[in-house]
Chains A and B, each alone.
Chain A
Amino acid sequence: MENLLELSNIHTFIGQFHILEGVSLSVPKGSIIALLGRNGAGKTTTLKSILGLTPPRQGSVLFKGEPIQGRRSFDIAAKGIGFVPEHRAIFRDLSVLENLRIAERQKGDFERKEQFIFELFPDLKRLIKLPGTNLSGGQQQMLAVARALVPDNELLLIDEPSEGLAPVIIEQMMAAIQQLSAQSTVLLVEQNFVVASKLAQQYVIIEEGQSVKHGRMADLVQDKATIHRYLGAA
């Protein structure tokens, strides 16, 4: 299988702190890959390093076979990477519609995707005129994912989609991610192992800034020792 994204030996610093000390992973096209690990292991920083928000100092990032490390974030994103950040980063002063429109890379992107987006998240249609500040946590998460779907992104980086959400909403969110993965490859950071194991076909474990283990999710679910060692009791 061809790899859509390939990280090899990434080193990233934030200020003077050496956060990533050699992360390597490959994301095959058309799958959901879960990035697992404890709090502070460097999962979010890995996503940000791919996008150049925290540019890696060493190592290479290949997207569709092309090196993208060192480029400006907007340039990287425009190549077809969508980002759903940890705290959703919904623009409060923009309406729901504007929050979607701002993600357009070409005029008419939103119109083309409108039907698909509202099929995934019917709630958003009703809220379309509301300002972003008035949304609940679940609605914000839906909007953040929907925003990443507006342009034709081949890869979606989704950070903690289930964080702080009610179980019913998590179910809905999981269904949506499952459905959208038919169109885009997903690199998913997820603390909730149950959610991650149901969604992803493959996994990568990050421990203290290094990628230590990867493989098929089906194997990991059986491997209680590994789960216990790297993720705590699941």
Chain B
Amino acid sequence: MDVLGTLKANRTRFITLGVLAFLFFTAVQGMPTEDWVITILRGLSVGMITFLVAAGLSLILGLMDVLNLAHGEMFMVGAYVGWTVFVRPDTFVDVLSPLLLTVVGFVLLPVWRVWIQKVPFLLKQAKFWPWLALVLGAGLLWIAYARFPLAIWNPDVYSESPITYSLALSQGNLLLATVPPSAGWPLGLLGTLLGGSLLGLAIAGFGLRQQAGTMSNHISRGTWITTAVLLVLGLVTFFINSNITDFLLGISTTARFFVAMAVATGLGFVIGGLIEVALIRPLYDRPIYQLMITLGLSFIVIEVVRAIWGRPEFTMPKAALFDGSGDGCPATSFGDLIAHQCSTILLFDGRIRTYNEVFIILVGLVVLALVWLILQRTRIGMIIRAGVQDSEMVEALGINVRQVFTFVFAMGVALATLGGVLAAPSIGLSTDMGTRLLLLALIALAIGGLTSFPGAAAGAILVGLLQQFIIKYGQIGINLPFLAEPFKPSPPLVPASTVLLMVIILLILPHGLFGRNE
């Protein structure tokens, strides 16, 4: 097909994009320079956060036809985990060893599957023993966890609540008490390993009924490597607990923030992988159940977060790199910005916040480029793109698509948790942050074309820009020819505008901006 043919076949799309661009320039024309610069930057910032959630959602939906309604909550988990690493590294390190040791039991799932096949009794009684393993495992974990020393906040007491610790960190007077290890620690370690294994065994047992006979008894080398790494990490964090805490408290807040981003992303990857293997995989034949299980999961996650961090909203302090306000601030050039670690920079007479309006966008662009490279340049990316269209054919070529499913789910959740920790210093932490963002991401996906990766990016940025322009015009007003007073869009119009945009675009292009007629 030649260029002209492409133009002709997609003319509705190009006209729509043209109209959108025209509207954008009209909106920019109506503002003073400093206003539109900051509005665009804010829009891009919101767009990038939305993109981080929408990207995973779109890949998961495209490849395995699963609409992960818990994706917003993964974003929220990322924020809360990031906050914990950043503000209370001692709690984070304390929790690390029991968590890692528990996960060992789940990572060994393929081993349990093979093992079950070899024990006739377990095969025969598959209706009974998984429940027993589940109860025993949970009970054992309950007892074992209590043996680990845990320094934690108390959401019910204001002076020990997350709010107070956030304030203390930003004022530079954070004080943390150390908890001595209790006497029963060997029991704790052993019980955690055993409890996790029993839970893993239970999951393998429940899976038995669905996939009887079709299970592969192949254990990849990755399973053993992951197990060994987790085991070593879990034991190391237990035995040199206070050294790690001291190290984390000793480094600058900037470095710690990057650690928080890495931890949240890594944890998201693990959680995503576990969700896919344990909850989604047994239900590939029943899409409605998958939808319901992700919905149920989102409610559970919200309640767990409420139980641990408490109901009230709180803030996450910004890292030192983005929080300076001394000499030479606000910065007038990017050189000054880095030299003085200013919280704001002057650009076209407007004050731009370094973190919200520069850093978030930069990270978003880097992730966008990275995911794009993975999709276009690697073999697994090629398999993902092919699988989005026809995963059965990919499997028929001899490729284990299920493994790719797990990877994509893990990566999608990792992107969402990264988005969470990235957004937290800007929008704060609350238990409804995930639900709100999920809605925005879904709208962005619908606009972009559900399963298209560039569509997810474009839709997210479009939604972010639209929101911010409406907010800005709500402040300065639009001069309309027939009205004496400038028209000021009211706050409810902000969320409504994105839905309206979605409706209009779907009426013109039923498959979204970059979607395909299937």
Residues of chain A touching chain B, judged by Cβ–Cβ distance below 8 Å, are 51-53, 55, 70-75, 77-78, 83, 85, 89, 91-94, 98, 101-103, 105, 134, 147, 151
Question: Closest chain B residue to A47 by CB distance?
Answer: B396
- Total number of B residues with any Cβ neighbor in A under 8 Å: 24
Residue of B nearest to A144 (CB): B393
Residues facing A in B1-36 (CB within 8 A) are 1
Selected contact of A71 from candidates B216, B379, B401, CB within 8 Å: B216
Select from chain B the residue with minimum beta-carbon distance to A151: B398
Q: Is the beta-carbon distance between A93 and B388 smaller than 8 angstroms?
A: yes
**Given A70-B213, A134-B1; A102-B383 close (CB under 8 Å):** yes
Q: List 12 A-B contacts (CB under 8 A).
A: A70-B213, A72-B402, A73-B395, A74-B400, A78-B398, A85-B393, A91-B393, A92-B389, A92-B516, A102-B379, A102-B394, A147-B397
Q: How far is the CB of B336 from chain A (nearest CB, A)?
A: 45
Bound complex: CA of A191 vs CA of B396, how far in Å? 23
Looking at chain B's contact residues, the main secondary structure is helix
> Hey, which chain A residues are within 8 Å of B216, CB to CB?
71-72, 75
- Are B385 and A93 within 8 A (Cβ)? yes
> In the complex, A94 Cα to B378 Cα: how many Å?
12
Whether a CB of chain A sits under 8 angstroms from the CB of B173 is no
Residues in A neighbouring B382, C-beta threshold 8 A? 94, 98, 101-102
Q: Which of chain A's residues have a CB closer than 8 A to the CB of B389?
A: 91-93
Cβ-closest chain A residue relative to B401? A74
Residue numbers of B with Cβ under 8 A of A are 1, 213-214, 216, 379, 382-383, 385-386, 388-390, 392-402, 516
| B3 → chain A closest CB, angstroms | 13
Which residues of the other chain, B, contact A51 by a CB distance below 8 angstroms? 396
B401 partner residues in chain A, CB cutoff 8 A: 74
Q: Name the CB-closest residue of A to B394.
A: A102
User: Does the CB pair B390–A74 fall under 8 Å?
Assistant: no
Partner pick for A102 among B1, B388, B397, CB 8 A cutoff: B397
- B386 x A103 contact (CB < 8 A): no
- Across the interface, do B395 and A71 meet the contact criterion of CB distance under 8 Å? no
> Within the assembled complex, what's the spacing in Å between the Cα atoms of A84 and B63?
21
Q: What is the bound-complex CA distance between A102 and B399, given in angstroms?
A: 9
Tell me which of B385, B392, B399, B402 contacts A94 (CB under 8 A). B385
Bound complex: CA of A74 vs CA of B399, how far in Å?
A: 5
A105 to B397, CA, bound (A): 9
A70 contacts which chain B residues (CB < 8 A)? 213-214
Q: When the two chains form their complex, are residues A91 and B386 in contact, meaning their CB atoms are under 8 A apart?
A: yes
Whether B397 and A77, one on each chain, are in contact in the complex, defined by CB atoms closer than 8 angstroms, is yes
Q: Report the Cα distance A57→B216, complex, angstroms.
A: 17
Q: How far is the CA of A98 from the CA of B377 in the complex (A)?
A: 10
Kindly report which residue of chain A lies nearest to residue B403, judged by CB atoms: A74
- Extra contacts, 5 of them, besides A73-B395, A93-B385 (Cβ < 8 A), are A53-B392, A53-B396, A72-B402, A74-B398, A94-B382
Least Cβ–Cβ distance between B455 and chain A, in angstroms:
12
* Nearest chain A CB to B452 CB, angstrom units: 9
Contact status B386-A94, CB under 8 Å: yes
CB distance from A68 to the nearest CB of B (A): 12
- Taking a contact as CB atoms under 8 Å apart, the answer to whether A77 and B395 are in contact is yes
Among A72, A75, A134, find the residue whose CB has the most chain B CB atoms closer than 10 A.
A72
A124 to B364, CA, bound (A): 39
- A83 near B214 (CB under 8 angstroms)? no
Residues on B with beta carbons closer than 8 Å to the beta carbon of A89: 390, 393
Cβ of A105 to closest chain B Cβ, rounded Å: 6
Residues from chain A with a CB closer than 8 A to the CB of B516 are 92
Q: Could you say which of B388, B396, B399 contacts A83, with CB atoms under 8 Å apart?
A: B396
**Which residues of A have CB within 8 Å of B400?**
72, 74-75
CB distance from B448 to the nearest CB of A (A): 15
Cα distance A75–B217 in the bound complex, in angstroms: 11
Bound complex: CA of A74 vs CA of B404, how far in Å? 12
CB distance from A224 to the nearest CB of B (A): 37
Bound CA span A55–B211, Å? 12
Most chain B Cβ neighbours within 10 Å, of A75, A101, A105: A75
**Cβ–Cβ < 8 Å partners of A151 in chain B:** 398
Contacts of A134 in B (CB 8 A): 1
Nearest-CB residue, chain A, relative to B516: A92
Bound state CA distance, A89 and B396, in angstroms? 11
Q: Are A77 and B386 in contact (CB under 8 A)?
A: no
CB distance from B217 to the nearest CB of A (A): 10
Distance in angstroms from B232 CB to nearest chain A CB is 31
Residue of B at shortest CB range from A84? B396
A70 and B217 CA atoms in complex are apart in Å by 12
Residue of A nearest to B400 (CB): A74
Q: What is the CB-to-nearest-CB distance from A220 to chain B, in angstroms, rounded to a whole number?
A: 29
Q: Return A134 CB to nearest CB of chain B, in Å.
A: 5
4 tightest Cβ-Cβ pairs between the two chains A and B: A77-B398, A78-B398, A89-B393, A91-B386
Q: Which residues of B contact A53 (CB under 8 A)?
A: 392, 395-396
A55 to B213, CA, bound (A): 11
Beta-carbon nearest neighbor of A55 in chain B: B214
Report chain B residues within 8 Å CB of A101. Answer: 379, 382
* Residues A73 and B396 in contact, CB atoms below 8 Å apart: yes
A204 to chain B, nearest CB (A): 21
Query: How far apart are the CA atoms of A93 and B133 in the complex, in Å?
Result: 45
The CA of A74 and the CA of B385, in the complex, are separated in Å by 18
- Docked Cα-Cα span, A71 to B395, in Å, equals 12
Complex Cα distance, B392 from A72, in Å, reads 11
